[in-house]
């Protein structure tokens, strides 16, 4: 799958990456019924108001109102754009997405791009 087909790549990453497993790499989550709860990683004043649904593949903080899917979480916690977050998650999960590098990716071919411009 080529990198220019972002909507399909985004959808594939959301479907294949486990949101609970990903978020647990950053914060401790406890199962409470059908949801997981923990302390919000984005606002230390929120307490245990951060909820994750594996069924809906979403997270929500009822204190600071941060919400989204696994790509949104990674983008926010890693301070990156959604495309970079999706690529990062794809590489972690070894999905078929992002077979080629992003155009303008500073980690890939930076010196080649520089020489081309000169």
For residue 80, give both structure tokens.
Answer: 């990156």
Q: Between 3.90.580.10, 3.10.20.30, 3.20.20.370, 2.60.40.420, what CATH number should domain 6-117 receive?
A: 3.90.580.10
Q: Tens digits of per-residue pLDDT, 4-62? A: 667 877 888 999 999 999 999 999 999 999 999 999 999 989 889 999 999 999 999 99
Q: 11, 47 in Cβ contact below 8 A?
A: no
pTM summary value: 0.74
| Residue 117 pLDDT > 80 | no
């Amino acid at each position: 799958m080529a990198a220019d087909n972002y909507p399909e790549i985004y959808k594939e990453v959301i479907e294949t990456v486990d949101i609970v497993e990903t978020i647990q790499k950053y914060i401790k989550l406890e199962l409470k019924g059908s949801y997981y709860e923990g302390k919000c990683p984005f606002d230390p004043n929120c307490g245990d108001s951060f909820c994750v649904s594996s069924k809906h593949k979403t997270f929500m903080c009822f204190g600071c109102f941060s919400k989204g899917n696994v790509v949104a979480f990674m983008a926010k916690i890693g301070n990156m754009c959604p495309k970079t977050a999706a690529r990062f998650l794809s590489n972690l999960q070894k999905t078929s997405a992002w077979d080629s590098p992003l155009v303008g990716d500073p980690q890939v071919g930076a010196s080649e791009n520089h020489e081309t411009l000169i």
